[in-house]
Amino acid sequence: MEGYFIKNVKIITRNSIIAGRGVIVKNGKIASICDENRAETSCSVIDGNGMYLSPGFIDLHNHGNNGADAMDATYEALDTMSKFHIKNGVTGFLATTLTSSRENTLKAITNAVDFMGGKYNGASQVLGLYLEGPYFSQIKKGAQPAEYIADIDIDELSGYIEAGKGCIKILALAPELEKSADAVRFLTEKGITVAAGHTNATYAEAMDGINNGITEATHLYNGMRALSHKEPGVLAACLLDRRVCCEMICDGIHVHPATMKIAVKMKGRDNIALITDSLRGNGLPDGEYMDDGRMVIVKNNQVRLEDGTLAGSTLTLNRAVKNMVEKVGVSLCDAVYMASYNPAKQIGKADKKGSIDVGKDADLVIFDGGVNVKTVLVGGKIVYKC
């Protein structure tokens, strides 16, 4: 039979959740949203058993999971990450680098480009690269390796972009650094989203960066100057300016639910992108693991360096959606929007992905009331079923 007719589901659209309708998938695309009682004899039927049908989640900021990391720079690492993601409803993600040497960064970039150009592995798609560093503040480095944090080098940036062959979608930098204005303009001219990250910028410095083209905040609240009534800093600039979409790690560890609520009230649903920022320890038992030459400790759903610094998360994006509903009080529709449409928008793919609309890629997830993933389609094909 040709395609699928998905019925008996509550469809999560961009603006509402609708029942009594079905979705027809053909040729890898969403072909129709129709009355679920219509007879579609040319399609195989997927019965959602009254569960939710959601657009596939997109994780913009993810370093690794299940023992693998994008900085491993191997096919096996990205394949492992991809197969872990799909079980959690993530149909696409950005392979995210860590501040490292130029050589290691280039290896990670080249590996991701090769993976994207190779045969599809039947799991979550690598949609591009997110370069997290190396142009950061030493003061707000967080778990970024201090020895590799560097001043902005446009020639080095050019080398990364050339190696990326159009696959670099986001780059994070500290806007207070010298040459940041040149770098932001250079990157935006190449169609790359620039994020303010690991930054100790003042409010004025951050606003200069935003006016130059910064449109994203790397893991809001984390790795940035805190808000003060006398110097509101980069945090206030990102919260106040509607041009900035704020990534947020909604695990209740990196960000308290009350501060998540502040972000939602300030930014609205249109300018928050849920991320995991997970590391290779995600999906592994509690214990000590080597991660890019450093010891990290996974315990009680937290990942920390030996000195106690938070070093990424063990969050999955379906749990982030659940947390936004249960801990923050946003609607399921809005939480899904923050995990699908907004991320797609940030990487220029909202015309193809991120929502259930006719003509878009049939990247779809069926999950229950606890946001437990049951079925995943990528490009109109079932790639996971629980």
Residue 250 forms part of a structural domain: yes
Residue 116 forms part of a structural domain: yes
Please provide residue 7's backbone torsions phi and psi, each rounded to the nearest 5 degrees. -135, 175
Residues 83 and 49 in one domain: no
Contacts 24+ apart (CB under 8 A), 117-120: 118/75, 120/379
Cβ count within 10 A of residue 147: 10
Residues 26 and 175 in one domain: no
Residues 273 and 194 in one domain: yes
CATH number of the domain to which 44 belongs: 2.30.40.10
Residues 34 and 64 in one domain: no
DSSP 8-state symbol, 353: S
Give per-residue pLDDT as tens, 346-372. 999 999 999 999 999 999 999 999 999
CATH number of the domain to which 116 belongs: 3.20.20.140
Range of 319's domain?
Answer: 57-346
The answer to whether the CB of 25 falls within 8 A of the CB of 362 is yes
> What integer pLDDT is reported at residue 290 of this predicted model?
79
Cα(85)–Cα(383) distance, integer angstroms: 11
Please provide residue 369's backbone torsions phi and psi, each rounded to the nearest 5 degrees. -65, -15
Structure tokens at 249: 């790690």
Secondary structure element (H or E) that encloses residue 98, with its range: none
Active site residue ranges: 277
Structure tokens at 36: 């679920």
Residues 229 and 130 in one domain: yes
Residues 129 and 244 in one domain: yes
Residues 202 and 98 in one domain: yes
Cα→Cα distances 6→35, 37, 48, Å: 11, 11, 7
Residues 78 and 159 in one domain: yes
Residues 162 and 261 in one domain: yes
Show the DSSP H helices in 24-124 as ranges.
75-86, 102-117
Number of domains the chain contains: 2
The answer to whether the CB of 71 falls within 8 A of the CB of 279 is no
Residue 351 forms part of a structural domain: no
> What integer pLDDT is reported at residue 306 of this predicted model?
82
Whether this prediction's pTM lies above 0.85 is answered by yes
Residues 331 and 378 in one domain: no
Give per-residue pLDDT as tens, 270-308. 999 999 999 998 988 888 877 777 788 888 877 788 888
Cβ neighbours of residue 336 under 8 Å, at least 6 residues apart? 12, 54, 55, 57, 321
Residue 339 forms part of a structural domain: yes
Residues 45 and 71 in one domain: no
> What integer pLDDT is reported at residue 214 of this predicted model?
99
> What integer pLDDT is reported at residue 40 of this predicted model?
64
Residue 340 forms part of a structural domain: yes
Residue with tokens 């009682």: 37
Structure tokens at 344: 């797609």
Cα(192)–Cα(184) distance, integer angstroms: 9
Closest-CA residue to 10 (of 59, 42, 41, 54): 54
pLDDT less than 50: residues of the chain: none
Structure tokens at 268: 């609205």
Show the DSSP H helices in 165-281 as ranges.
180-189, 203-212, 233-240, 257-267
Residues 132 and 24 in one domain: no
Closest-CA residue to 252 (of 242, 262, 260, 244): 260
